[in-house]
Structure 1
């Protein structure tokens, strides 16, 4: 087994053509805080998270994932991981060095097997944050990111072999075979999941709320704001987390969730779940059916940023 040097998920960075609409959505509706802003660039924090930011928005003509960022425990681990990837023939975008983003730190970037830019960093300054109070329906932290993949088996193998991710559970279909893989880097059931899709793209990003009441209040607030809901509210079987999926102004799927399962990594054995069983998709039975409409919206637009590092 590959030694795991990644500790956790830090942030997801998105490039969008409708930057102003996106910024208004994430700060005015979704509940994130704009902590740092430059021309056409905003770093958005979650009130309960020590991370400097959990989403970065960048103005661009193309809609794309700029990068997905993970943390490491030390600068030495960053160096070790960069050396391992280079030795294995993974294409580095940048060598380890000082980061110029909020909180500083030490890190590097590389392309994964399908061309997504991934950043690994350590020594980033902890953001001054606070406990989210009872009844506050705003994100506590970035829970997980799910990517669409045209080669999901290869993508799973890449993250297991090179980055030490472990498989938690798999969703299957009687005719289509295995369709989604939930991957972890710590006790949380998944920080990353990989979905089978005709093209690489963002499937969704998920934000943890304080508890069930806050999750439902948040779901209601976003609904009242007129944001299009595509699925939920409900509770998945894999991960045992709640879900409400909405579309941001660019058509990216964003999720409110809570109570994601934490597993005992020493004893956990991955399950194969047939997601055509209603209780697999939604244990509660309260969500609208998972159908072709929901699946198509989650396919998203093909990512235009593959094997093209973001300018910042």
Structure 2
């Protein structure tokens, strides 16, 4: 593997028609904090994260994913990655330059093989954050993002070849074949996963909680608040992390999780897990069964942002 230039997942940017309802959900129910705002834009942080924000929300006529943002160590790494992608014929939608969002920095944007906009930046100022306290059931940080693709092997190869992501594990079944690749850009089991779907779209965004107790308290708060639960609470085998999946007001799936596995990358070998085995999807056996109804919710609506760069 060549030298890895991407270090971590920074944030996910979403556009939604009912901006006020989505904003209230993220701040009042999900537990994020607004740190900056502009006309029709909100930047939402996790209290325990040094990232200036982990979700960007934009008012728009159509629901879409605006971009997925990753970090790099230095401006030189950003330039090296941009040169690599341009030489390989990847479509650049914003050349390297100053980033005009909270924290600033230096970065650029491009389309991945499925047409979603990806941003890579470095030199972003860290945010003054705090320790999330015991029993405080709010996200500590952004954990990972899962993206739907019609050809998960093609998307996996693209991220391996162009961005040096590595495969951690795969979910498969005798009847459906391979349905999800877990991809990493650091020792965390996955910062991104690629799921098999009928169209490119957002599968889910995952948020790390302080611990098991805070994860369960957050799950309970959402249930008591009438938020629709899709799946959980339980514990996956791939990644060994807990999961509770809920729908936001626009039908996007969001996850509370904790204890995602950290790998020894020098010795790790990817597994292929048969997700038709119940202990693979949920080691604890506490979640509702994974079935076609649960899977369908995660297909989401077709992403209207494919090969269309966001306006900001």
TM range (shorter): over 0.9
Partner of 2:42: 42
Post-superposition offset of 1:18: 1.0
- SS in structure 2 at match of 1:288: coil
Structure 1 segment 129-168 matched on structure 2, within 5 A? 129-168=129-168
- TM-score when scaled to structure 1? 0.99
Partner of 1:27: 27
Post-superposition offset of 1:151: 1.6
Structure 1: runs of 5 or more not aligned: none
Partner of 1:302: 302
Post-superposition offset of 1:187: 0.6
| Aligned residue pairs, count | 312
Partner of 1:237: 237
Post-superposition offset of 1:152: 1.0
Post-superposition offset of 1:192: 0.2
Partner of 1:75: 75
Structure 1 segment 200-211 matched on structure 2, within 5 A? 200-211=200-211
Aligned mates of 2:286, 2:139 — CA distance in 1: 22
Aligned mates of 2:83, 2:127 — CA distance in 1: 29
Aligned mates of 2:152, 2:2 — CA distance in 1: 19
Aligned mates of 1:271, 1:56 — CA distance in 2: 34
C-alpha root-mean-square deviation of aligned residues, in Å?
Answer: 0.5
Post-superposition offset of 1:121: 0.1
Aligned mates of 1:127, 1:90 — CA distance in 2: 32
Aligned mates of 1:151, 1:306 — CA distance in 2: 15
Is structure 2 residue 256 aligned with structure 1 residue 256? yes
Aligned mates of 2:43, 2:298 — CA distance in 1: 24
Is structure 2 residue 63 aligned with structure 1 residue 63? yes
Alpha-carbon contact 1:2-1:161 (below 8 Å) kept: no
- SS in structure 1 at match of 2:265: coil
Structure 2: runs of 5 or more not aligned: none
Q: Runs of 4 or more off by more than 4 Å in structure 1? A: none
